[in-house]
Amino acid sequence: MRASLPSLNRPRARAVKPMALALLLVGCGHLAACGYHVAGRSDALPKSIHVIAVPALENATNSYRIEQKLTSATVRELLAVTPYKITSNPASGDAVLRGKVLTLEAVPLLFDTQTGRATTMLVTVRCEVTLTQTEPQKVLYHTDKFIFRNEYEISTDVKSFFEEQDPALDRLAKDFAQRLVAAVTENF
């Protein structure tokens, strides 16, 4: 009786292994077809581009210095993750990245139950962004709906809130720049 039990299970075990292998191969095929790749490492831009000009973003909001923070973070990100040289002079670039901050909104998301003050904010930045190749005058990337959203914790202590404002804007600008550079260089 014992000899017959393993022989009954063996054909079923042999059928399961090919099925599992087939499912694994199909799953890997789907992942490969989705086009996953490392951000900032794409060859979406033409080979003739070596220098990207990034003039200061325009600011159409009431937020003081937001365009300066976003511009400098974008330049740092381009230098960190791409092979391109960066300049602020549009006449010196093989391509020019221009942008305009259209809106900046901060909405309370979570509150301290004891004080009623916001502890987490949802920040949304909407921009218009264009990357233009200098010769020939060709738009490589354009959107007037580049939207960046992220949550940020804030201090409920009023005194430390004002001390945290610049570091908070720096974190926002860094996160924004990572998303923007990935979008522009990968042509999403």
Find, among 121, 125, 107, 104, the residue nearest to 161 by Cα.
Answer: 121
pLDDT at position 165 is 64
pLDDT category of residue 140 using cuts at 50, 70 and 90: very high
pLDDT category of residue 80 using cuts at 50, 70 and 90: very high
Helices (H), the chain: 4-33, 66-81, 158-186
pLDDT at position 119 is 83
Q: Are strands 58-59 and 138-153 parallel, antiparallel or unpaired?
A: unpaired
- Say whether 23 sits in a helix, a strand or coil: helix
CB contact at 8 A, 118 and 107? no
Distance between CA 51 and CA 86 in Å, rounded? 6
pTM equals 0.70
pLDDT(17) > 90: no
- 8 versus 44: the higher-pLDDT residue is 44
Q: What whole-number percentage of the chain has pLDDT above 70?
A: 71
Distance between CA 45 and CA 39 in Å, rounded? 13
Q: Which amino acid is at 62?
A: N
CB contact at 8 A, 129 and 141? yes
pLDDT category of residue 167 using cuts at 50, 70 and 90: confident
Please state the rounded mean pLDDT for residues 140-169: 76
